[in-house]
Chains A and B, each alone.
Chain A
Amino acid sequence: MVPDLGGARAAILHRPHPTVQALTRQLGAIGLSAEAHWPDLPPSALGADYTFFDADMGHDAQFPWAPGAAPMPTVALIGSEAPGRIEWALGMEAGAQLLKPVGDNGVYSALLIARASWEARRALAAEIESLRSRLAERQTVIRAVAMLAVHGGDEDAAYAALRQRAMAWRVTIEEAAARVLAGGEGRHGRRRTS
Chain B
Amino acid sequence: MLPVEIGLLFSCSGSYRLIAEACRTGALRGIADANADPSLHIELVPVERDPGGEADAYAPLCEDILANSGARHIVGCVTSWSRKEVIPALERLGGFLWYPCPYEGFESSSQVVYAHACPNQHLVPLLRWAMARHGRRGFLTGSNYIWGWEVNRVARDLIGEAGGQVLGERYLPIGDTDVARMVEEIRATGPDFVLNNLIGASSYKFMRALSCLAEADARFAPDRCPVLSCNLTECEIPALGDAAEGLVSTGPYFRDGAGRFGSSFEAAAYASVRSLAARLAHAGEVLDLDGLLSVPDRGELSIDPVTHHTTLPVLIAQVEDGAFRVRERWDAVTADPYLARRDRLAPRSQLRAVPR
Comparing A27-35, A68-76, A143-151, the segment that makes contact with chain B is A27-35
A104 within 8 A of B: yes
- Starting from the known contacts A5-B338, A29-B307, A104-B109, 4 additional A-B residue pairs (CB-CB under 8 Å) come to A5-B340, A25-B110, A29-B337, A31-B341
Nearest CB on B from A98, distance (A): 15
B216 within 8 A of A: no
Whether the Cβ atoms of B109 and A31 lie closer than 8 Å is no
User: What string of 1s and 0s marks CB contacts (under 8 Å) between A1-24 and chain B?
Assistant: 110111110000000000000000
A103 within 8 A of B: yes
Rounded to whole angstroms, the CA-CA distance of A108 and B336 in the bound complex is: 14
Nearest CB on A from B299, distance (A): 23
B178 within 8 A of A: no
B342 within 8 A of A: yes
B330 within 8 A of A: no
Rounded to whole angstroms, the CA-CA distance of A132 and B170 in the bound complex is: 47
- B-chain residues with CB within 8 Å of residue A105 when the two chains form the complex: 109
- A-chain residues with CB within 8 Å of residue B342 when the two chains form the complex: 6
Whether the Cβ atoms of B306 and A2 lie closer than 8 Å is no
Rounded to whole angstroms, the CA-CA distance of A29 and B340 in the bound complex is: 9
Rounded to whole angstroms, the CA-CA distance of A136 and B339 in the bound complex is: 46
- B-chain residues with CB within 8 Å of residue A97 when the two chains form the complex: none
Q: What is the interface residue range for chain B against chain A? A: 10 to 19
B111 within 8 A of A: yes
- A-chain residues with CB within 8 Å of residue B307 when the two chains form the complex: 28-29
The residue in chain A whose Cβ has the minimal distance to the Cβ of B344 is A4
B56 within 8 A of A: no
- A-chain residues with CB within 8 Å of residue B110 when the two chains form the complex: 25, 103-104
Rounded to whole angstroms, the CA-CA distance of A25 and B91 in the bound complex is: 16
Shortest 7 CB-CB distances between A and B: which pairs? A31-B340, A6-B340, A29-B108, A6-B341, A5-B340, A30-B338, A29-B307
Give me the interface of B with A, judged by CB distance under 8 Å: 87, 91, 106, 108-111, 157, 306-308, 336-342
A51 within 8 A of B: no
Rounded to whole angstroms, the CA-CA distance of A119 and B128 in the bound complex is: 31
Q: How many residues of A contact B (CB 8 A)?
A: 18
- B-chain residues with CB within 8 Å of residue A25 when the two chains form the complex: 110, 306
Rounded to whole angstroms, the CA-CA distance of A1 and B344 in the bound complex is: 13
- A-chain residues with CB within 8 Å of residue B87 when the two chains form the complex: 104
Question: Out of B106, B108, B306, B341, which one reaches A104, CB within 8 Å?
Answer: B108
- B-chain residues with CB within 8 Å of residue A140 when the two chains form the complex: none
Rounded to whole angstroms, the CA-CA distance of A28 and B339 in the bound complex is: 13
Rounded to whole angstroms, the CA-CA distance of A1 and B157 in the bound complex is: 8
Whether the Cβ atoms of B340 and A28 lie closer than 8 Å is no
Question: Out of B91, B306, B308, B340, which one reaches A103, CB within 8 Å?
Answer: B91
Question: Out of A5, A7, A31, A104, which one reaches B111, CB within 8 Å?
Answer: A104
Rounded to whole angstroms, the CA-CA distance of A194 and B308 in the bound complex is: 61
Whether the Cβ atoms of A30 and B91 lie closer than 8 Å is no
Whether the Cβ atoms of A108 and B338 lie closer than 8 Å is yes
- A-chain residues with CB within 8 Å of residue B339 when the two chains form the complex: 2
- A-chain residues with CB within 8 Å of residue B308 when the two chains form the complex: 29
Whether the Cβ atoms of A30 and B340 lie closer than 8 Å is yes
Name 30 A/B residue pairs within 8 A (Cβ), A-sorted.
A1-B157, A2-B339, A4-B340, A5-B338, A6-B336, A6-B340, A6-B342, A7-B340, A7-B341, A8-B340, A25-B110, A26-B108, A28-B307, A29-B108, A29-B307, A29-B308, A29-B337, A29-B338, A30-B108, A30-B337, A30-B338, A30-B340, A31-B340, A31-B341, A32-B340, A104-B91, A104-B108, A104-B109, A104-B110, A104-B111
